[in-house]
Amino acid sequence: MRKTLVLLVSAFIIIAAASWMTSVHAQTSITASDPTGDDRGPGYYGYPTNEVFQPGVFDMTGFEVQDTGDKVVFKVYFSNLGGNPWSGPNGFCLQYVHIYVHTTMGGTARMDTMGLNFALRSDYAWHFALLLAPGWEESPTPVGQRAALYFADGTVVVQDGNFTVYADPDNNAIVAEVARSLLPDVDNLASWRIVVAVASYDGFGPMRVRPVGPTGGEWVLNGTQYATPEQLQKVAKAIAAGIEPRVLDIAIYSDQYPDGITAEDQYAWLDSYSPDLGALAIVPGFPPVTVTETVVETQTVTHTTTQTVTQTTTQTTTQTTTETVTHTTTQVRTETTTETTTVKATNWAAAGGLAVLGLIIGLAIGFAMKR
């Protein structure tokens, strides 16, 4: 009887603990905000002129990622979703959202983006990427027009029952729900580094991305709408070379940018391309390196005194005194390197809960044995 009671009490406590831990786990989520009005790419892009491109349709205001226990939900918010003028099956058709995720698992990762004409910094290289497209056809974008989940090893999953994409018009959001079993490293979601980019979807454009033109047009992004003369020349050369960024807004979540990025960050990073070198823009940009330099100088000064004494014996004596003074300044070159160490904090709430449960089990067993 005692053993039966002990087993029943222990089973009850274990089930309660599992339920409690599941409820805590279901609250795992991250969010990142993004400034409004920064939908200008590198700072000087404008929208196409057709009326379907309403103000704000490419202006991302933030995103969130939530682990609900059985799936991971990605939500990207806009100032204005702009409706669905061409009846995309997924409920939207103007935006093309790319989500690039660097996890903590290491291994194969990629720095390229699919048709956006910018590269990711190596510590943001993606292990998997979500390409959220309007959903026509059956093949994955960018070959077809269905939303796709890509892994760095080349594996691709087309949207289906385990991977759904839809619009949330009431909240001006585009949503992707992915079965938790499809994704790696979900337990470390809070330590992921995520880059979200918004392009203009074009079913006939290169890699399904709407191109940029030097002066824009009805169906082309205006690459110089807000450009200075210097920027105008730079982007014109980049367009000719095919390396201009084809993206209007970006947002980031990481340990380095826990509160997101500024419009100035975005403009500087997307403007970092070099048409002369044929180099793509890098996101995020590289942090500045502090270098201290001093100049080393060595100076030698020589004083020579010559004295002539003439006596009546017509004998001449010459005396030379040489003095050398050397001043030496030593140059020191200092380079400052910053290393960031991420320390994973202990979940004291979970640990405390487990301790209490252990105490309860011990008391229950002791009471049963005493009886």
Three-state SS sequence of 64-123: EEEECCCEEEEEEEECCCCCCCCCCCCCCCCEEEEEEEECCCCCCCECCCCCCCEEECHH
Q: Comparing C-alpha atoms, which of 281, 108, 69, 94 is closest to residue 195? A: 281
Characterize the bridge pairing of strands 156-158 and 60-67.
unpaired
Q: Which of 40-44, 135-139, 161-165, 319-323 is predicted with the least confidence, judged by mean pLDDT?
A: 319-323
Question: pLDDT-based confidence at 367, cuts 50/70/90?
Answer: low
Letter string b/e over residues 266-305, b meaning 16 or more CB atoms within 10 A of that residue's CB: bbbbbbbbebeeeebbbbbeeeeeeeeeeeeeeeeeeeee
- Rounded to an integer, what distance in angstroms lies between the CA atom of residue 114 and that of residue 152? 12
What is 255-278 written as a DSSP string? SS-TT---HHHHHHHHT--BTTTT
Residue 371 has a pLDDT of 45
Q: In the predicted model, is pLDDT for residue 324 greater than 50?
A: no
295/76: higher pLDDT: 76
Between CA 34 and CA 245 the distance in angstroms is 19
pLDDT at position 35, please?
Answer: 97
**How much is the CA Rg of the chain, to the nearest whole Å?**
33
Work out whether strand 118-120 and strand 95-102 pair parallel, antiparallel, or are unpaired. Answer: unpaired
CA distances from 317 to 306, 312, 320 (A): 10, 13, 10
Average pLDDT, the chain: 81
Confidence of residue 314 (pLDDT cuts 50, 70, 90): very low
Res. 292: pLDDT tops 70: no
The closest alpha carbon to 186, from 320, 74, 330, 47, belongs to 74
Banded model confidence at residue 294, pLDDT cuts 50, 70, 90: low
* Predicted local distance difference test score (pLDDT) of residue 359: 54
Does residue 250 register a pLDDT over 50? Answer: yes
- Rounded to the nearest 10 degrees, the angle between the axes of helix 348-370 and helix 2-25 is 170
* Per-residue pLDDT at 263 exceeds 60: yes
Enumerate long-range contacts of 201-204, CB under 8 Å, 24 or more apart: 201/93, 201/94, 201/95, 201/96, 201/133, 201/134, 202/96, 203/134, 203/136, 203/145
Is the pTM above the cut of 0.85?
no
Position 259 confidence tier, pLDDT thresholds 50, 70, 90: confident
Q: What are the distances in angstroms from CA 123 to CA 97, 126, 284? A: 21, 9, 9
Report, as an integer, the average pLDDT of 175-197: 97
Q: What pLDDT digit, counting tens, does each position of 56-103 carry? A: 999 999 999 999 999 999 999 999 999 999 999 999 999 999 999 999
Q: Which domains does the chain have, with CATH numbers?
A: 34-283 (2.60.40.1190), 292-329 (no CATH)
Residue where the block lists tokens 């291994």: 107
Percent of the chain with pLDDT over 70: 70
pLDDT number for residue 203: 96
Structure tokens, 61: 């205001």
| Alpha carbon 254 to chain centroid, angstroms | 7
* 22-64: pLDDT as tens digits: 444 444 899 999 999 999 999 999 999 999 999 999 999 999 9
* pLDDT, position 299: 54
What does the alpha-carbon distance between residue 233 and residue 313 come to, in Å, rounded to a whole number?
Answer: 87
Euclidean distance between CA atoms 262 and 327, whole angstroms: 50
Residue 280: per-residue pLDDT = 98
41 DSSP 8-state letter = T
Task: Quote the pLDDT of residue 158.
Answer: 98
Q: Looking at residue 290, what is its pLDDT? A: 55
pLDDT-derived band of residue 369, with 50, 70 and 90 as boundaries?
low
Structure-block tokens of residue 336: 């400052």
Range with the poorest average pLDDT among 34-48, 197-211, 212-226, 276-290: 276-290
Q: How many CB atoms lie within 10 A of CB 233?
A: 13
Pairing of strands 334-335, 297-310: unpaired
Q: Tell whether the model's pLDDT for residue 221 goes beyond 80.
A: yes
Question: Looking at residues 268-274, what average pLDDT do you find?
Answer: 98
pLDDT tens-digit profile of 146-183?
Answer: 999 999 999 999 999 999 999 999 999 999 999 999 99
Pairing of strands 128-132, 148-151: antiparallel
Specify the pLDDT at position 287. Answer: 80
